[in-house]
Amino acid sequence: MTTIALPQIIIQSESPVALAVREGLAAHRKSLPAWLFYDAAGSHLFDQITHLPEYYLTRTERAIFAANASEIIEKALQASGLSRLRIAELGAGSADKTRLLLQAAIEFQGTLFYEPLDVSASALHAARQRIEHEIPGVHVLPRVMDYTQGLDFYPAAAGERRMVLYIGSSIGNFEPHQAARILEIVRAGLEPGDTLLLGVDLQKDESTLLAAYDDAAGVTARFNLNMLARLNRELAADFDLEAFAHRAVWNPTESRIEMHLESLVAQRVQIPALDLELSFATGERIHTENSYKYAPGQVEAMLAETGFNPENSWTDERGWFAVWLARAQ
Ligand code: AVI
């Protein structure tokens, strides 16, 4: 009897985490993408960051909404010729500050459809339960989606205008060309007259910025180092967290805070799941995040270039953070 040897097909498929780590750490200048921060432990640490005294961003944006939510909703409806809003939110997460806007919209129109979009189904589920419980009249329609790859909203009903929230300065974590691309994606999902509410952290003195990204209690350091802890957990890597230090640096040329993890000694690290051995020199860094700080004119130019008319903006008394209401042209 003849035996026929069948060709062996080996399918190699790496997870998004494995692919990102291989690409970032095998490079000459080592880096890891900022989305790797947000596993369960990292999301919890980020939540702690938002309550730190030095991290002014969340508190300042919330104060802008607390003072101006009704006016924001009124302006979004104005000039639209339509009488009702439906609100979508990109990267909604816990949707905490959003409540102020949802509450204001309910006061105008009694009921509201709210479509939070996020990559985390569990964060969306929790936000839905909380919001429907806390703000009667809001119907939450969660969508699990990576908005950087494209957008797909539920259709608006007749007489409804859409308002998309992109708040928290999330746009600041993208390179300016990627940020513009995201605004183009949002614009493509809107009808003329719909609006975008964009929250952006502004340029300010270096010491305020450095303190916000290197707090005295060390929470941001733990957030940054959690990225290595995550690789230890998920890829069986052997990063020694004591042998790396958190560094926050202001880059004035690019107008951004950079976060890095600096190797404190010459060392080797194994990542068995990737069959990878890395070597680090003393002082060598892994670049983990950029957080761009914009001037108001730059934001308005980017909005105009991507098909929006920046109609109104609100800021705090120190001019540290600003929120734009921009209408799709
Ligand atoms: C989510 N993002 C707007 C934060 C920021 O300020 O860039 C992430 C962060 N990184 C360190 N602290 C907070």
If you take atom 11 of ligand 1, which residue's CA is the nearest one? 213
| Ligand 1 atom closest to the CA of 46, numbered from 1 | 13
pLDDT at 181 over 80: yes
Query: Residue 169 Cα, ligand 1 centroid: separation in angstroms?
Result: 8
| pLDDT beyond 90 at 50 | yes
Q: Please work out whether the CB of residue 213 comes within 6 Å of at least one atom of ligand 1.
A: yes
Residue 24: count of CB within 10 angstroms of its CB: 17
pLDDT of residue 80: 59
Q: Measured from the CB, is residue 172 less than 6 Å from ligand 1?
A: yes
Report CA(291)–ligand 1 centroid distance (Å).
7
Residues 6+ apart with CB under 8 A from 177: none
With cut-offs at 50, 70 and 90, classify the pLDDT of residue 284. very high
pLDDT (0 to 100) of residue 16: 94
State yes or no: pLDDT of 168 exceeds 60.
yes
pLDDT at residue 6 is higher than 60: no
Minimal-distance CA residue to ligand 1 atom 6: 291
Q: What residue's CA is closest to ligand 1, atom 1?
A: 170
Does the pLDDT value for residue 119 go beyond 90? no
Mutate to test the pocket of ligand 1, among 173, 215, 249 (most ligand atoms within 8 A of CB): 173
Residues contacting residue 103 through CB under 8 Å, at least 6 positions apart: 69, 135
Report the percent of the chain where pLDDT is more than 70: 95
At 259 the pLDDT is 98
Nearest to 122 by CA among 114, 130, 111: 130
12, pLDDT greater than 80: no
Specify the ligand 1 atom closest to the Cα of 173. Answer: 7
- Whether the predicted pLDDT of 173 surpasses 90: yes
Check residue 55 and give its pLDDT: 98
Q: What is the mean pLDDT of residues 129-141?
A: 95
Q: What percent of the chain has pLDDT over 90?
A: 86
Average pLDDT, the chain: 94
Compute, in angstroms, the gap from residue 106 CA to the centroid of ligand 1: 30
Of ligand 1's listed atoms, the one at least distance from the Cα of 223 is 11
310 ligand 1 Cβ < 6 A: no
